[in-house]
Chains A and B, each alone.
Chain A
């Protein structure tokens, strides 16, 4: 028992190792997945946070800007409503336009530019111009009154038509940018669009934030971001130009490298739908601190992942141990089961072998017996052919010869029985004419030399077919009829009847004579009647008949045996489609 024990514990160890590996693989995969997802989420969150920061800063700035635009527009609208300006435009007095406006706009134009931190609240204008009905700039008679502009800058103020709503625009003037607001002037008399007032301001600039965000404006293919070195501007400008022309959205962001430092660049269209050329707010934010923070976070997550992995390693080791313990027990249990099963199987094999052997023995014995009997019979027949014996010798010889015939019959029966027992007998089922078969046997019965004086009664229709193999069916009938004759009394009778009953054909054979005592099992193999008799069989005929009847799906039974009458009944399966209804 040493060797199986070792094998078993080896198997358990191998199972434990496999279990441990599987758990580790799962833990490692989950950790890696978790790490990947966490990192992705953190990156996305960080990026979103950065965006949010940007948007908040931008939106606060844009709110101020909007406020300023609204204030400016209000102011411009009031100006545009002034009767003198209207009179100059509508009453054909263009020469009086700028002089009239000078008085009205004095408040806006006078004084110095406010410092940047007050720019939001300040409404200081740098210049103003009127547009004629075609949208072109009306030349001022004296440029110093209305804010001097070079011709190139002034040309940018012209629009291809008069605007019917407030328009925001940005124009370049040398290295500077002006923010302009154009408001329409409608005739107070006709409501027609007659002119527009364009006022230029210093662009609203974002204050320098501690985050390091720097803002500028991109317009007409040029980037104005004074905080950045000119060397960085050109490459940046190219990228923005591409993004601004390609992108369908008004705002977006991308990463750029400014002087080797990674930056996040946001851009937003400042004047959507304006008649002025599109201008973009540009914000550049250095992302180095952000990346450093992100890297730190990654390391932290990585460390946590490693710890988790280690924990998983230990945990899976214990789990594998715990899980393999019942398996070990199971292995032991199954070993016991196996031994028990082997024992049972061995016993079964022995039984089967014995059974087989006995069956084979029976068959062999029959064959072995038949040969000497044949030799004996042939010898006796040869002796009978001689003519030099006394007559009483012939009588003895005839008796002996008869015994050899009986012996052959017994051996045949035994052979058949052994085949039935071994399960080797195959029934080739076919319709068998039972009526004809019984008739033939009755004829033979009458022809037998030692036939007692018995009367035979027949009571069956002709052409009664049963399902079975003819020779075995015949054997059943023969056995029963022979018995009926053999155990009859002189002057007795035999009655044979047959009839169809549903799916069966029932054959009854009755005879007069001594009855069978109650409780005696006449169907037992090698049975011998308890009461002495002048005639006796070898004790296997009824047994064989019954076995055969059962093989045919039928039955043989003793119906009654009393008052000088013994009756057997055989039940056969009816041959399908052959018998007429009984």
Chain B
């Protein structure tokens, strides 16, 4: 009987993929600042600053697990396009070392640059047909403000994180992180350029932890 139980357990374990076996999950809700205006139907988010604090409008948060994780050998290339004289996404979280391409989907010049201490770069003026697509590797964690030298109203944010485990909340603040390694970590939520909330978590394999960041 005891053997049968073991067998059945091994059978179950053999069915579940190994990665899943070694993973935990986190879900919860981040209390987001009140939106200044009712969320419109537009999917696009814009960057707003209030008293020099950059955030998205409507408010969104980036939830990530902070810790020392092994760095992968290569990173997927991310893309942040400029379309209709604005950035396709207002806020782009990436892992340190990620290359971001800035394709120009407009029928005009753009000149993406950043004077942010995290990453200073200047892509110069380029047209949509510019090849290769201008890109930048972000090699330091921090927040990068993207501007266009030609279109002064354009603003974009790239949050460079030193973790592969991050996700953006929905507008209600809900999030879910999967395939997390077990262990003790700090769960952080970036809300705006001045506000990051955190909470220690202990993840166990196969468990889904519910954490709210008020």
Residue numbers of A with Cβ under 8 A of B are 81-84, 86-88, 90-93, 96, 187-190, 192
Interface presence of B149 (CB below 8 A) = yes
Question: Which residue of B113, B114, B153 contacts A188 across the interface (Cβ within 8 Å)?
Answer: B153
Residue of B nearest to A82 (CB): B152
Binding site for A on B (CB under 8 A): 48-52, 54, 113-117, 120, 145, 147-149, 152-153, 155
Given the known inter-chain contacts A190-B51, A190-B52, please indicate yes or no for A83 contacting B152, CB distance below 8 A.
Answer: yes
Contact at A83–B147, with CB atoms within 8 Å? yes
The residue on B at minimum CB distance from A93 is: B115
Contact, CB under 8 Å: A91 / B152: no
Contact B117–A87 (Cβ < 8 Å) = no
Q: From A87, A96, A187, A190, give the contact of B147 (CB < 8 A).
A: A87
Q: How far does the Cβ of A302 sit from chain B's closest Cβ, in whole Å?
A: 74
Q: List 20 A-B contacts (CB under 8 A).
A: A82-B152, A83-B113, A83-B148, A83-B149, A83-B152, A84-B115, A86-B147, A87-B115, A87-B145, A91-B114, A91-B115, A91-B116, A93-B115, A93-B116, A93-B117, A187-B52, A188-B152, A189-B49, A189-B155, A190-B50
In Å, the complex CA distance between A91 and B50 comes to 14
CB nearest neighbor in B for A94: B115
Contacts of B51 in A (CB 8 A): 190, 192
Chain A residue nearest to B120 (CB atoms) is A93
A81 nearest CB neighbor, chain B only: B152
A86 contacts B152, C-beta separation under 8 Å: yes
B152 touches A92 (CB 8 A): no
Query: Please, which residue of chain A has its CB at the minimum distance from the CB of B47?
Result: A189
Q: How far is the CB of B204 from chain A (nearest CB, A)?
A: 42
A91 touches B145 (CB 8 A): yes
Contact A192/B52 with A84-B113, A87-B113, A91-B116 known, Cβ cut-off 8 Å:
yes
User: In the complex, what residues of B have CB within 8 A of residue A91's CB?
Assistant: 114-117, 145, 147
Determine the chain A residues whose CB is within 8 A of the CB of B54 once the complex forms: 189
Give the distance in Å from the alpha carbon of A546 to the alpha carbon of B64 in the complex: 156
Distance A462 CA – B129 CA, assembled complex (angstroms)? 160
Name B52's contact: one of A82, A83, A86, A189 (CB within 8 Å): A189
- Complex: A86 Cα to B113 Cα, angstroms: 12
B149:A84 contact, CB within 8 angstroms: yes
* Residue among A81, A87, A92, A93 with max Cβ neighbours from chain B (10 Å): A87
Beyond A83-B147, A90-B52, A96-B120, 17 additional pairs, beta carbon < 8 A: A81-B152, A83-B148, A83-B152, A86-B152, A88-B115, A92-B116, A93-B115, A93-B116, A187-B49, A188-B152, A188-B153, A189-B49, A189-B54, A190-B49, A190-B50, A190-B51, A190-B52
Bound-state Cα–Cα, A83 to B149, Å: 5
Complex Cα distance A96/B121, Å?
12
Given contacts A188-B152, A189-B155, contact A96 B115 (CB under 8 A): yes
A187 CA to B155 CA, complexed, in Å: 13
Q: 3 shortest A-B CB distances, which residue pairs?
A: A189-B49, A93-B115, A87-B115
Chain A residue with the shortest CB-CB distance to B152: A83
Q: Closest Cβ of chain A: how far from B92's Cβ, in Å?
A: 17
Q: How distant is the Cα of A86 from the Cα of B114 in the complex, in angstroms?
A: 11
Given the contacts A82-B152, A83-B147, A83-B148, A92 and B117 also touching, CB distance less than 8 Å? yes
A contact residues around B113 at 8 Å (CB):
83-84, 87
Bound-state CA distance A189–B153 (Å) is 9
The docked-state distance in angstroms from the alpha carbon of A187 to that of B50 is: 11
Q: How far is the CB of A15 from chain B (nearest CB, A)?
A: 100
Task: Enumerate chain B residues within 8 angstroms of A84, measured Cβ to Cβ.
Answer: 113, 115, 149
Q: A88 — nearest CB in chain B belongs to which residue?
A: B115
* Complex Cα spacing A368 to B136, Å: 169
Q: Please name all residues of chain B whose beta carbon is closer than 8 Å to the beta carbon of A92 when the two chains form the complex.
A: 115-117
A191 to chain B minimum Cβ distance, whole angstroms, is 9
Tell me how far the C-beta of A134 lies from the nearest C-beta in chain B, rounded to whole angstroms: 16
Return B115 CB to nearest CB of chain A, in Å. Answer: 4
CA distance A73 to B117 in the complex (A): 31
Docked Cα-Cα span, A409 to B155, in Å, equals 155
Name the residue among A84, A88, A187 with the largest chain B CB count within 10 angstroms: A84
Chain B: CB-nearest residue to A89? B115
CB of B122, distance to nearest CB on chain A (Å): 9
A80 CB, nearest partner CB in chain B, Å: 11
Residues of B within 8 A of A90 (CB): 52, 145
- Least CB distance from A362 to B in Å reads 137
Question: A81–B152 Cα gap in the complex (Å)?
Answer: 8
Bound complex: CA A82 to CA B48 (Å):
19
Rounded to whole angstroms, the CA-CA distance of A93 and B147 in the bound complex is: 13
Question: Which single residue of chain A is at the shortest CB-CB distance from B49?
Answer: A189
Q: Which residues of A contact B152 (CB under 8 A)?
A: 81-83, 86, 188
Q: How far, in angstroms, from A134 to B147 measured CA to CA in the complex? A: 26
* Chain A residue, CB-CB nearest to B116: A91
Cα–Cα distance between A81 and B48 once the two chains are bound (Å): 18
- How long is the Cα–Cα vector from A90 to B148 in the complex, in angstroms? 14
- In the assembled complex, how far is the CB of residue B120 from the closest CB belonging to chain A, in whole angstroms? 7
Indicate the member of B52, B148, B153 with the most A CB atoms within 10 Å.
B52
Residues of B within 8 A of A86 (CB): 147, 152
With A and B bound together, what is the CA distance between A82 and B152 in angstroms? 7
Nearest-Cβ distance from residue B58 to partner chain A, whole angstroms: 17
A90, B117: Cα distance in complex, Å: 11
Closest to B143 in A: A91
Cβ contacts under 8 Å, B50 to chain A: 190
Residue in B closest to A96 when the chains form the complex, CB atoms: B115
Among residues of B, the one whose C-beta sits closest to the C-beta of A194 is B52
* In the bound complex, CA of A82 to CA of B148 (Å): 10
Contacts of A190 in B (CB 8 A): 49-52
Q: How far is the CA of A190 from the CA of B52 in the complex (A)?
A: 6
A414 to chain B minimum Cβ distance, whole angstroms, is 140
Alpha-carbon gap, A88 to B149, bound state (A): 12
Contacts of B49 in A (CB 8 A): 187, 189-190
CB distance from B109 to the nearest CB of A (A): 13
